[in-house]
């Protein structure tokens, strides 16, 4: 029998929110625990309200790794998160438990990427590694990739006894690495690497910046590489790099007593001025634990800050910027797309399935397992 045709997206885009929510809820109740909808904290409220779990990159990875009953995951986040969920949910032991049945991981918009993850590709990192090998002993280097990276880069780390980290586990990953080897190559986010290494008292002079666009040693001298402890990749998040030390000064002057909390993807000069630096989950925990009347300026993606403001009216919450700071790719996920993917799934014609090539998944899993073990 020929497969039924996919439902088209266009008709969903002309439906009203109420109708879309009702239809999504209908699929959720028909599928019950077989469907798991995961939502990153940066998602729009209308999407996050329909998620079974909201979380940071680390928490959502753990949930995908531990899901036993679910038979499909809809990941309301960005591409690298869906890839990670696919690798963890379909790792060999889980596949064996399900008699070989794969759990499809669906990204409601295939275009929802991460500009930071796009700043390092595996060819560039391979080239960096072989250039480093001419100057230092790469057997003494642990590659660490931030989870905001392609599956190929996670596999690169898996093959070389490296590790994946999230913003919540970067310190644990660096501690783990330095117990084993003398140096780290950290990619693709320079700021997370620098902020974390600084908190471990590693001097800036021992953190050269590797610019993949520069011809020789990423723009470094051989001496700088030989003296290094953490080699930082020249990548950054364009959302978090918008927060400046000027913003910190402005909010401190305008709101006496205000506390500044920022994500570690912010620049070092901003992190150094902040009262607290932490992952999205840490930011949420800090706000939840603060007494009424606390004043905050938060340096992270705006959807999360706006949600915290609405959920904590007993506190005074500001975005640490006078401009808007939205992750445009996260925002591609909306109700029409969510409804489109869950109805296609229920109809047996899944769309937006993210499936990592098996050999890449095998090696990426090595590095992801270490991430889940070290925290």
Q: What is the largest CA-CA distance in the chain?
A: 70
Please identify, using beta-carbon distances, which residue of 40 and 183 lies nearer to ligand 13P: 40
Q: How far is the CB of 28 from ligand SF4 (least distance, A)?
A: 25
Count of positions on this chain that bind ligand SF4 (CB under 6 A):
12
Q: How far is the CB of 167 from ligand 13P (least distance, A)?
A: 4
Q: Restricting to residues 118-157, which ones interact with ligand 13P according to CB under 6 A?
A: 148
Please identify, using beta-carbon distances, which residue of 330 and 333 lies nearer to ligand SF4: 330
Q: Restricting to residues 17-56, which ones interact with ligand 13P according to CB under 6 A?
A: 56
When asked if residue 279 is in the footprint of ligand 13P (CB under 6 A), the reply is: yes
Q: How far is the CB of 172 from ligand 13P (least distance, A)?
A: 13
Q: Which residues contact 289 (CB under 8 A, 6 or more apart)?
A: none
Which of ligand 13P, ligand SF4, none does residue 115 bind (CB under 5 to 8 Å by kind)? ligand SF4
User: Which one of residues 74, 155, 330, 354 is an interface residue with ligand SF4 (CB under 6 A)?
Assistant: 330
Question: What is the spatial order of strands in the sheet that 53-55 belongs to?
Answer: 53-55, 35-40, 72-76, 105-106
Report whether 231 contacts 222 (CB < 8 A): no
Q: How far is the CB of 318 from ligand SF4 (least distance, A)?
A: 19
- Per DSSP, the residues of 307-366 read HHHHH-TTSEEEESSSS----TTGGG--HHHHHHHHHHHHTT---SB----HHHHHHHHH
Q: How far is the CB of 253 from ligand SF4 (least distance, A)?
A: 27
Q: Which residues contact 194 (CB under 8 A, 6 or more apart)?
A: 204, 207, 230, 232, 268
- What are the φ/ψ torsions at residue 29 (nearest 5 degrees)? -75, -30
Q: Which of 184, 132, 126 is nearest to 155 (CA)?
A: 126
When asked if residue 166 is in the footprint of ligand 13P (CB under 6 A), the reply is: yes
When asked if residue 148 is in the footprint of ligand SF4 (CB under 6 A), the reply is: yes
Q: Restricting to residues 73-92, which ones interact with ligand SF4 according to CB under 6 A?
A: 78
Q: Which of 146, 84, 77, 83 is nearest to 117 (CA)?
A: 146
Please identify, using beta-carbon distances, which residue of 190 and 280 lies nearer to ligand 13P: 280
Residue 277 DSSP label: E
Site string for ligand 13P, 216-255 (x = CB under 6 A): ---------------------x------------------
Report whether 309 contacts 45 (CB < 8 A): no
Q: Which of 49, 149, 34 is nearest to 89 (CA)?
A: 34
Q: How far is the CB of 117 from ligand SF4 (least distance, A)?
A: 6
CA-CA-CA-CA dihedral for 174, 231, 154, 239, to nearest 10: 90
Q: How far is the CB of 180 from ligand 13P (least distance, A)?
A: 24
CA atoms within 13 A on the CB side of 151: 22
Q: Restricting to residues 297-326, which ones interact with ligand SF4 according to CB under 6 A?
A: 301
Which of ligand 13P, ligand SF4, none does residue 330 bind (CB under 5 to 8 Å by kind)? ligand SF4
Measured CA angle at 38 (ends 324, 300), to 5 deg: 25
Which of ligand 13P, ligand SF4, none does residue 167 bind (CB under 5 to 8 Å by kind)? ligand 13P
Please identify, using beta-carbon distances, which residue of 243 and 296 lies nearer to ligand SF4: 243
Q: How far is the CB of 116 from ligand SF4 (least distance, A)?
A: 4
User: Under the rule (CB under 6 A), what is the footprint of ligand SF4?
Assistant: 78, 114-116, 148, 237, 239, 265, 301, 327, 329-330
């Amino acid at each position: 029998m020929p497969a039924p045709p996919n439902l088209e997206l266009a008709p969903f885009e002309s439906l009203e929110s109420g109708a879309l929510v009702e239809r999504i809820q209908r699929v959720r109740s028909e599928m019950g625990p077989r469907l798991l909808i995961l939502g990153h904290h940066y998602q729009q409220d209308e999407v996050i309200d329909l998620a079974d779990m909201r979380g940071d990159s680390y928490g959502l990875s753990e949930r995908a790794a531990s899901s036993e009953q679910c038979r499909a995951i809809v990941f309301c986040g960005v591409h690298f998160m869906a890839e990670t969920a696919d690798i963890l949910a379909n790792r060999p032991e889980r596949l064996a438990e399900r008699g070989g049945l794969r759990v499809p991981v669906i990204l409601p918009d295939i275009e929802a990427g991460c500009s930071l993850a796009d700043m390092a590709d595996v060819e560039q990192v391979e080239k960096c590694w072989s250039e480093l090998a001419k100057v230092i002993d790469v057997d003494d280097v642990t590659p660490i990739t931030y989870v905001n990276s392609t599956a190929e880069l996670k596999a690169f780390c898996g093959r070389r006894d490296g590790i994946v980290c999230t913003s919540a586990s970067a310190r644990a990953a660096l501690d783990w690495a330095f117990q084993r080897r003398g140096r780290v190559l950290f990619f693709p986010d320079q700021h997370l690497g620098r902020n974390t290494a600084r908190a471990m008292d590693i001097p800036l002079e021992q953190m050269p910046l590797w610019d993949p666009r520069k011809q020789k040693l990423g723009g470094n001298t051989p001496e700088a590489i030989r003296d290094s402890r953490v080699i930082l990749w020249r990548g950054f998040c364009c959302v978090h790099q918008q927060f400046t030390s000027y913003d910190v000064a402005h909010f401190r002057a305008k709101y006496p007593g205000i506390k500044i909390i920022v994500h570690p993807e912010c620049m070092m000069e901003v992190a150094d001025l902040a009262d607290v630096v932490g992952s999205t989950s840490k930011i949420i925990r800090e706000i939840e634990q603060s007494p009424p009347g606390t004043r905050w300026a938060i340096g992270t993606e705006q959807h999360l800050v706006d949600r915290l403001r609405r959920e904590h009216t007993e506190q005074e919450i500001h975005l640490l910027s006078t401009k808007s700071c939205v992750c445009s790719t996260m925002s591609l996920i909306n109700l029409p797309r969510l409804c489109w993917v869950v109805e296609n799934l229920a109809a047996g014609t899944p769309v937006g399935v993210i499936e990592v090539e098996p050999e890449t998944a095998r090696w990426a899993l090595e590095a992801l397992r270490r991430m889940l073990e070290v925290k």
